[in-house]
Chains A and B, each alone.
Chain A
Amino acid sequence: MTVKSVLPANESINILQYKKPFSINRLILVVLGIVLSIIFMFPFVWSISSSLKGPTEIFIIPPRLFPLEPRWYNYERIFTIVPLTKFFQNTMIITAITIVGILMSSTLVAYGFARFNFRGRNVLFILLVGTLILPPDLTLVPRFILYNQLKWIDTWLPLTVPEFFAVNAFLVFLLRQFIMSIPLDLDEAAEIDGAGPLRILWDVILPLIKPALATVAIFAFLGAWNSFIDPMIFLRTTEKFPISVGLRFFQTGPDMGGEPREPLLLAASLLMSLPPILVYLFAQRYYVQGIVMSGLKR
């Protein structure tokens, strides 16, 4: 590393690569990082503050960052004004079914693509990867017509049943890559011991791809939790709404006798955002792994 020492110390390229004790450039970058972080976090801070304000304080100009009297009571009221408990319950049930469906079907399909030779496998796999660029909302209209024919409109079936058929190509692709990284010798050893294909999957492969399964479960969770367009179009009855559609119902829906709904809407939005953020904070590693895999498609 003698090369490094001949370089001028204050050149900006160095700051992009090496730890330096101190330089103006690094200081500027730290300040930039802090300012940007504050900007990115500001919407949360502001919403938390506003969600605690009362009906008059919310309209004070200029607005105050810290409410005079934080009204925690707002977080109770949202559950009585709209059936928020029901909405959250619905989201949780739909999300749980989705995760189970995706884990089961994607694992089986990925195992099939990774370990077995059958006629037409390559064509089918190309089709699978092809659906990755197929925007799902593009099939929204034809799917609506299909579910309408099947009398599935205003039920949870359009939101859950397809997940048991590995419709999420990205997650199948992800699991297949992981299974392919496991040495084939392990399968063959188990087979000589008399294990069938499903036993090999269960005893040999699944224990080795646990991190990948966690990644898939997290993506499935986030997808189902945040899902908005599908439930909005396929559901009609308020009691069946997940929280995403429920929020919109809250936004456009019941009259509150002239009382501003902003603090309550913000409280409900923050509550809805909490589970995905918590899952990320506790399972960051699996999340990042999945995203990096998606960028390394070959």
Chain B
Amino acid sequence: MASAVSSLRPAQLKRPWFTRARQRELTGFLLVLPWILGFITFTAGPMLASLVLSFFRYNLVADPIFSGLENFNYIFNKDPLFWGSVRRTVVWAVSVVVIGVTISLSLAMLINSKVAGNGIYRVAFFVPTLTPLVAGVLLWNWILQPTYGPVNSVLSLIGVKGPGWLLDPAWAIPALMLIYFWLTVGGANLIIFLAGLQGVPVELYDAARVDGANAWEVFTNVTLPLLSPTLFYVLVVGTIGGLRVFALPFMTAAGAWSVGGPEDATYFYLIHIYQNAFKYNNMGIASALGWIFFMAVILLTIFQFVGSKYWVYYEAGD
């Protein structure tokens, strides 16, 4: 088609090099150019620079000093906060992904059951996910306030002394999860699950019923396998999102404790990077920490893709 059109134009026959195909190639390249420039300037360039910096001592003021593997040696062997932040972050990511996905899927199934009022429930679950994180944290700071908050007031009515929530090292993480789930479970994942559930053919349920399967068997043998591609996507995105936890603990800590508090209970990996970069101006160590994180994310994603072959079900011919 393309060559047929260009052969009709005598002007281009005279200049065989600048053919219509080449012209289109150039146009396409020019259209994509903004992204290429942006990618180099704001993503690839800074990342490479930080890879280089991870082998330097750099405090933004003095010139960088080459220090070999010193930063990595410090991080892995001497840094008193590194391994704790890694452990906390992994526990957090696994917990919020498993619990959060379970809640989202349950809510999606509730809405998909088309009981009376499901349109209202859907909006009620979704609206919290639109709340700006900063505002959401401030709302919850007050709801979980140990003395004057409604949660502990209700608990005291039934004779239970409520915990200190965000102010108590033992309860800070559960409190953070509560806020996190309120801010996320009714959002993107629920909508994606709902789309997935609506794609399950009704005949499959009928067939399972005829074979005498009970509700749980239908769920594990029909619904879950057909949802597995969706579930896979949600798990990959959710795990990375969980590991990146930062703004939430950063904001809650601002109320009464220094960042990462109380008593380092919410001192996650990205907070560790933040503290090194912007509190102590250790740009070299912060860069090294960033690259360790980047490598971990890539390895984890590859691992999930390889592992998915064993449990994700794709319909034939899809």
Interface set of A (CB-CB < 8 Å, partner B): 3-4, 7, 11-13, 15-17, 19, 26, 29-30, 32-34, 36-37, 40-44, 46-47, 50, 58-59, 61-63, 105, 108-109, 111-113, 115-119, 121, 124, 127-128, 131, 133-135, 137-146, 148, 162, 164-167, 172, 188, 191-192, 197, 222, 225-226, 228-229, 233, 244, 247-248, 251-252, 262, 265-266, 269-270, 272-273, 276-277, 280-281, 288, 291-292, 294-297
On whether the beta carbons of A247 and B135 are closer than 8 Å, the reply is yes
Partner of B42, one of A117, A167, A197, A251: A167
A68 to B258, CA, bound (A): 36
A111 to B115, CA, bound (A): 43
Q: Does B124 touch A at the CB level, under 8 Å? A: yes
**Total CB contacts across the A-B interface at under 8 A:** 302
A125 to B148, CA, bound (A): 54
Q: Which residues of A contact B136 (CB under 8 A)?
A: 43, 269, 273
Closest chain-A Cβ to B52's Cβ sits at a distance in Å of 10
Q: Which residues of B contact A135 (CB under 8 A)?
A: 240, 243-244, 293, 297
Q: Which residues of A contact B147 (CB under 8 A)?
A: 61
In the complex with contacts A12-B215, A127-B39, A244-B134, A164-B34 CB distance below 8 A: yes
On whether the beta carbons of A111 and B31 are closer than 8 Å, the reply is yes
Partner of B209, one of A3, A269, A288, A296: A3
Closest chain-B Cβ to A279's Cβ sits at a distance in Å of 8
A118 to B128, CA, bound (A): 44
What are 17 A-B pairs with beta-carbon distances under 8 A? A13-B213, A16-B215, A30-B116, A62-B156, A109-B32, A117-B21, A118-B25, A135-B297, A137-B246, A138-B244, A139-B42, A142-B46, A145-B50, A244-B134, A277-B131, A280-B130, A292-B192
Q: Which residues of A contact B127 (CB under 8 A)?
A: 40-41, 44, 277, 280
Q: Does B140 touch A at the CB level, under 8 Å? A: yes
On whether the beta carbons of A61 and B202 are closer than 8 Å, the reply is no
Closest chain-B Cβ to A51's Cβ sits at a distance in Å of 9
Question: B234-258, CB under 8 A of A: which get 1 and which 0?
Answer: 1010001001101100110011000
